Amino acid sequence: MEGASERARARGLEAVVTTNTIPGMGHPNGIFVLADGTRLAVTEEHTLLQIPPSGRLATITGYVKKDEDTEEDRTRRKMRLTR
C-alpha cells in the first residue's frame, strides 16, 4: 500500500541533476558561489578550492598529500558527495 510519504516523494521528483566533471575535487563539504559564477568549495581533504566557470580547479589554501588521494575521487561516475 502506498503511504503518504511515497506519494509526496513522487510529486517532488522534478529537479534536473547534472554533474560537473572536476578531477581532483575530492569530497566537498561546503560550497559558496561568487557573483561571477566562480565556486569556492571546502573539502574533506582539508583544502579550499576555487572552480571558475571554465571548470579549471585550483587549490587556494590547505594541504593534501597527493599520494593519498584516491582514484575514486577523480573518476566522474564514482564521484560522490559525502560527509
Partner 1 sequence: MTGGFLDAKGTRAHFNDPAGLTVDRAGSVVVVDCGNHTICTVSKAGAIVSMLAGNGEAGSADGQGVDATLKDPCDVVLASSSDLLVSNAHVIRVVTPGGVMRTLAGSGQADFVNGQGPAACFNQPAGLALDTHGSLLMADSGNHAIRRVTMAGTVSTVAGNGEPGFANG
Residues near 37 by beta carbon (within 8 Å), at least 6 away in sequence: 52, 53
**What are the residues binding partner 1 (CB under 8 A)?**
4-5, 8-9, 11-12, 29-32, 34, 40-48, 59-65, 68-69
**Cell digits of residue 78:** 564514482
CA distances from 30 to 10, 43, 54 (A): 28, 7, 20
**Cell digits of residue 17:** 541533476
